Amino acid sequence: MSTDPATVGAGSAWPDGYDRVLLEETDSTMAEARRRAPDLAGPAWILARHQTAGHGRRGRAWQHPPGNFAATLVLPHAGDPAQAALRSFTTALALHDAFVARCGTRGQFALKWPNDVLLNGGKVAGILLESLPGGALSIGIGVNLSQAPTAELVEPGATPPVCLAQECDTLVPPQAFLGTLAPAFARWEDQFTTYGFGPIRTAWLQRAARMGETVTARLPNTELTGRFLGIDDAGHMILQTSAGPRDIAAADVFF
């Protein structure tokens, strides 16, 4: 029987089988992951104190002020594309646990489909998945630990950014945050590989933002507005629109 992993404490030990690479500076941890992936025998975290060319979804620039968190986890064997895509949910759950462990308050945090973590309604973290040759997957994670991005980099109507230091009055160094996040991810990954997506889906829905509320999903050629009903077994958003329920595989969501 599966269980919901307990919140990982700030002092949890580094997980067995996971390597880590600590860099002072790189262009982006995602690019570093692409370069290093062919030589990795197992999963590895890559953390950079500074990125010169960080990016988010659809190539959007990702600011990296001093003290913020920028890391990529490389999973050499992530399964088929559908399985690999579900890692956005295990990663979001791990981030949620790490934030709670560091801030001590669960109610402040929520998970926004498909790949953001919210703190007091603002975006504190984002997740970016990228398939690599040979079935590997890179999971890029950006967290506003010390500073939030400036307003000009935020798309109109998007969730405003916030930072952990201001909202929680807690300043966590990036390497210390990785020390909390990595064991949290390892626990959720173990849940996923052992029991499948079912327990992950249940846990994610328990932490989901705006369940049952009206949201807008922006697709490449259209926008759909409706009531957010949850996610299905493939991780797709279920949106109740005026024309009936819609299954949405990928979109930008606006509240």
DSSP secondary structure, 189-240, as one string: HHHHHHH-HHHHHHHHHHTBTTTTSEEEEE-SS-EEEEEEEEE-TTS-EEEE
**Whole-number mean pLDDT of the chain?**
90
The more confident residue out of 6 and 222 is: 222
109 belongs to a structural domain? yes
CATH of the domain at 153: 3.30.930.10
Q: Are residues 45 and 158 in the same domain?
A: yes
- CA distances 39 to 43, 44, 72, 74, Å, are 11, 11, 16, 11
Same domain? 153 vs 243: no
The parent domain of residue 30 ranges over: 19-206
Q: Are residues 232 and 170 in the same domain?
A: no
Give the closest residue to 20 by CA, choosing from 47, 48, 57. Answer: 47
Specify the amino acid at residue 93.
L
pLDDT of res. 7? 44
Which residues, listed in sequence order, are joined to residue 123 by a DSSP beta bridge? 118, 161
Same-domain check for residues 32 and 130: yes
179 and 94 part of one domain: yes
Same domain, residue pair 93 and 201 = yes
- Side by side, which strands form the sheet with 252-254? 244-248, 237-241, 223-231, 214-218, 252-254
Q: Do 227 and 202 share a domain, yes or no? A: no
The pTM (predicted TM-score) of the whole model is 0.91
Q: Does a structural domain hold residue 33?
A: yes
